[in-house]
Structure 1
Amino acid sequence: MAQLLHTLRQQVVPYPNDHFSGRGIVLTVGFNQLKFLKVNLKMIELTATKLSIQIWYTSSQISHDNMIELLRTAPSINASACCFITAQCRTLTQVWQLNATRVYNPKLDGLQTYGFPYKPAAIISATFSEVLFLDCDAFVTRDPEELFISDPMYLKFGALFYPDAHKSRQDPAVWTVFNTSCAEHEYEFDSAMILVDKRRVWNGLYLTKLMNDHNQVFYRHVTDGDKDTFRLAFRYMQIKYYLVMTPCSTGSFDGTRFCGLTLCKTDSLSQHIYINHIHLFKYENIKYSPITLGYTRIGLGDFYNNSYFFQHCQLYNGPTSCFHILKKYNEKMTQDNCYYGNISLEEIEDHAYMLNESLVSEKSKNNRVLMSKTNNFMPNFVENLIKYLK
């Protein structure tokens, strides 16, 4: 693997300064994701964002006509469908040819079931110089253009990533192969949302694409799908990034216990929730309802200087697995780090936040876990999501 990495590093091409421009949202879609993408476009439309959107697909899976029908879902947004195979983009009214040498077609390397390699390929192929990438089931809750303009850690590093609820599971030898410091205590990435300035982090992105082209090697021995190829590629190329360690999840609350079923994403200062990745529903056949999406739980403050407990696990005889967010590890933990205790009443708040009102308060300086009805944090999110999913 070390030799393969060395070879791939030599294949990284320079950033094409004269090709990319502007900011935009990028998504990829396969045939089984069309339902979620339609909802995603409707949710983007509700924010009235001025950002352009590019949806990348392959005509071997989805026809051009199907993509046009998809665009009709949200006619008021500036969206185009871009095909890897033909190197063309199309809207409801026009079709244009891209520079085929700047369309970095993914290689599936025998991978039949999942389209993970399309993600980094779409990010570097999109005509934007700054990209917000979203999975089809990662839904916006407010206009994300603010992140490009004013997020301090994005402006500093040029790359924001978000955690999955798992500490690194790589074999210790991996860190040596990738010539990087051991990050066994760092969380793995949830690549459902990625914010990057391609000009500044191009080498890391391009190596990520190449690693995904060789998915039979890297998925088998290093990472679960595409998500940690970003982390390891950036580390190998010595490209700095910022991991937004604000644990946040939407789920159900029965008055005693909270079961988180999504991974929601904030800005780097934890002021607002921008994206809600409806994570476990598709894996565990959970019904979308005001109950399963009713409450949201978030850890506020400085994650790096506290003992927040953030874990994904399933209690014995539990109907589903859950995301657990606690202020610190405590005695009500099972051996596999599942929390079986009750939610503290002091953590529950019933305050409807205004659009520009920050979740962070004076109390957050000492770190706090906050839980409230989801619509208090993300107005009308639950109703709109359920309406569009029907």
Structure 2
Amino acid sequence: MNIYVQVNLAYIRFSLFLLLVDPLYLCGNKCCYSKYVFTKRGMWMNPKFLLRPYSNFFLKRTLTICLSALLALLLLYQFNQETVITNPSVWVPQKDELQRPLESRTATPNERRVFFRNIFTTLKNAKPRDPPEDFTAFKDEARCKLRDPMFASDGEREKLEAVSYDSLDGCMHVPDQYLESLTKMHTKFVGTIKSISSSTVRQLYPEDSGIVAVGGGRYSVLLATMLPKLRKNCTSLPVEIFIPDEDAAGDASFCQVFAPRYNAKCIYAKAIVGKIDIKLERFQYKPVAILLSSFKNVLFLDADNYVMKNIDKIFSAESYHDTGLIIWPDIWKRCTSPSFYKIAGINFDLTKRVRWGGDEISPVSRYTSAEQNSPEYLKTKVPFHDLDGPMPDSSSESGQLLINKVKHMDTLLLALYYNVYGKQWYFPLASQRGPGEGDKESYISAAYALKKPVYQVKTPLEFSGYFTDEFNGVGLLQHDFEQDYQLYKKAEELVAANQIRYGFYDPEYTYSSSFLKEFFHVGESAHSDVMFIHASFFKFDPWELSQNERFTYRGKQVRGFSLRDRINGEDFELEVFELMKEAFCIDKTVKYGYLEKKFKSKEDWEKACSYIDKHIVFLKRNP
């Protein structure tokens, strides 16, 4: 209950007390009364205890009682109205309440609570029917040619039929009885969220821009190196860390002692929303964290994603201004089922090719001969996502995400919807049980469903790792989105000015050389800067690293992170190991609930710190 309501209640009780007590005094010879004094600032109550004969002020006392009664009734009515708005137990959410106009100010905590609770109620009410126990009945083995994941760079035409419309539809074709329910609930939810006004969103979020991450348990341990690395690059943007309720107690020291050192604070769903009716799992926390954060403009980072340059000006970038949503690529070809597009109301044209992978600049004639442009060929041999309507290749990677919530509140909420019902429906629809299936396709899918602008970085990610008998990847390098966008715009201008040159059919066209290398200088010195290293394979968790003796091969230590030339020679691995030593072996003021459970004894801690020390020595001796 906010302070305004508490004051109103106190005044109501006092006024009612006057109504009950004053008549008793009026019956006596003398009385105590409250005299109203009118000043230039308005009316205020000034209790004065005066002993006067009853006959001298009967009219004054009557006026006082009536006025008190009137004010009490008015305030009681106002309180009842406030109760209807802020108490979810008595408020039945309606579609029009979701966009209830706020006053021209920042929303109060109660108003935010009501809004968010209504969102979760709307999510719950838009639940599609349950899926079958498995999706094998949705698969046509004869048509489905997708056996193994395909790299986005794969350009061998004979392989591309595996991701054609005919193949992807055969891999997962949702029958009409399920399709109808999914479409109905999707349409219902979209209709509700599209009614939210941008002015309402502005008032919901008091802060302008910042970084959001999900902590809790092991992820708070990862943030113990990610946050210092962020500040070492001189990035000053504030950080909000979403802590799941079940991790709040174990992370109390991290939130109260460690996070504030780096201009970061922890936020909790229970404090902002209260009880959420929908059961959330960890993979669903990302959109919830973005939604509940106080920022209008958000850079979301996974806890194991390290910023490699100053990013203070990312929200003023042209690409962000133009779209309000920036997404980074994964390494795989997109294999979203055509059934998803039907559910989401996204039209597609099986007779019209518009791109090759991410190349939406070159004329189609550059890579398509006359015989390759027939309806049957386009349906069975050309990647479905190269046709008009679907999302382009490659698939998306959500370890980092830039979003303007004022422009894309509906996108964020629809992405949340895809996550809430992801395991049942939307994850297999998006990825067909492919690598990394999860929330990663939710954001671009939502933007396309709502016809909202989005820019996905064209420069492919790079792998950092080391060789043993085979290559062992330890990190994903993602690139500067604004540099990438400017290269894309230059490529557009170049192709537009040379339509004849780029319009001729080139049987040797490949996506890697004819698009990425020519226009984005992939593999050359003009390549876009590395902006993030997503250390998603060997996470910098001291317990896991030491227990499994990571960064060793046949008993000998090895360097894990390569491509130092791509990060200006910086020794990223050494830097993070030194940050681990500082956080977990030197600084004894912060307790981590996750590590307290893992390390059963002092010897366990000493083993982990010894492992860290030895690897630091090795890295310094082997630069």
For residue 288 of structure 1, report the CA deviation from its aligned partner.
4.8
Closer/same/farther in 2, CA of residues 235 and 184 from structure 1, 3 Å limit: closer
SS at 1:232 equivalent: helix
**Residue of structure 2 in register with 1:72 after alignment:** 257
2:410 is the alignment partner of 1:203: yes
Distance in 1 (CA, whole Å) between partners of 2:310 and 2:480 is: 12
Q: Which residue in the other structure is 1:170 paired with? A: 336
Deviation of residue 287 (structure 1)? 2.6
Tell me the SS of whatever aligns to 1:2.
Answer: helix
Q: Which residue of 1 aligns with 2:87?
A: none
Give the counterpart of 1:29 among 215, 231, 236.
215
Q: Tell me: CA distance 1:14–1:67, structure 2 relative to 1, closer, same or farther (3 Å).
A: farther
Which residue number corresponds to residue 227 of structure 2? 41
Out of 306, 309, 326, the residue aligned to residue 139 of structure 1 is: 306
Structure 1 residues 176 and 58, CA, compared in 2 at 3 Å: closer, same or farther? same
Alignment correspondent of 1:385: 576
In structure 1, the residue matched to 2:568 is 376
Alpha-carbon distance in 1 for matches of 2:275, 2:192: 13
The one of 116, 124, 130 equivalent to 2:291 is: 124
Match of 1:262 among 452, 475, 496: 475
SS at 2:426 equivalent = helix
Q: Percent identity?
A: 20
1:287 match:
550
Look up the match of 1:188.
Answer: 395
Q: Is residue 121–residue 209 contact of structure 1 (8 Å, CA) maintained in 2? A: yes
Distance 1:74 1:46 in 2: 15
Query: Cα–Cα, structure 1 residues 27 and 36, in superposed 2: closer, same or farther, change >3 Å?
Result: same
Summarize the alignment of residues 200-349 of structure 1 with structure 2, pairs less than 5 Å apart.
Answer: 200-215=407-422, 216-223=424-431, 224-253=437-466, 260-268=473-481, 269-270=483-484, 271-282=528-539, 287-288=550-551, 291-296=558-563
Q: What is the alpha-carbon distance in structure 2 between the residues aligned to residue 152 and residue 56 of structure 1?
A: 29
Higher strand content, 1 or 2: 1
Larger helix share, 1 or 2: 2
1:108 and 1:117 in contact (8 A); partners too: no
Deviation at 1:126? 0.9
Per the alignment, do residues 375 and 212 of structure 1 end up closer, same or farther by CA in structure 2, a change over 3 Å counting? Answer: closer
With normalisation by structure 1, the TM-score equals 0.67
Q: Give 1:264 shift.
A: 1.7
In 1, Cα distance between equivalents of 2:340 and 2:186: 12
Gaps of 5+ in 2: 1-181, 349-384, 432-436, 485-527, 581-611, 613-623
Normalised to the residue count of structure 2, the TM-score between the two structures is 0.43
The Cα offsets for residues 234-273 of structure 1, whole Å up to 9 and x where unpaired, read as 1111111000121232423559986543222222214422
Contact 1:167 1:184 in 2 (8 A): no
In 2 relative to 1, CA 143–211 (structure 1 residues): closer, same or farther, beyond 3 Å? same
Report the count of equivalent residues.
294
Larger radius of gyration: 2
> Using the alignment, how far apart are the partners of 1:239 and 1:229 within structure 2?
14
Change in 2 beyond 3 A, CA 1:255/1:60: closer
Structure 1 counterpart of 2:245, one-letter code: S
Q: Which residue of 2 aligns with 1:6?
A: 187
Structure 1 residue ranges, 4+ long, deviating more than 4 angstroms after superposition: 103-106, 253-260, 282-286, 288-292
**Aligned pair in 2 of structure 1 residues 267, 274: CA closer, same or farther (>3 Å)?**
same
Q: Distance in 2 between matches of 1:85 and 1:217?
A: 27
d(CA) in 1 for partners of 2:404, 2:296: 6
Q: Which amino acid aligns with 1:53?
A: V
Counterpart check, 1:155 vs 2:326: no
Once the two structures are TM-superposed, the CA of residue 132 in structure 1 deviates from its matched residue by 0.4
Report the equivalent of 2:266: 81
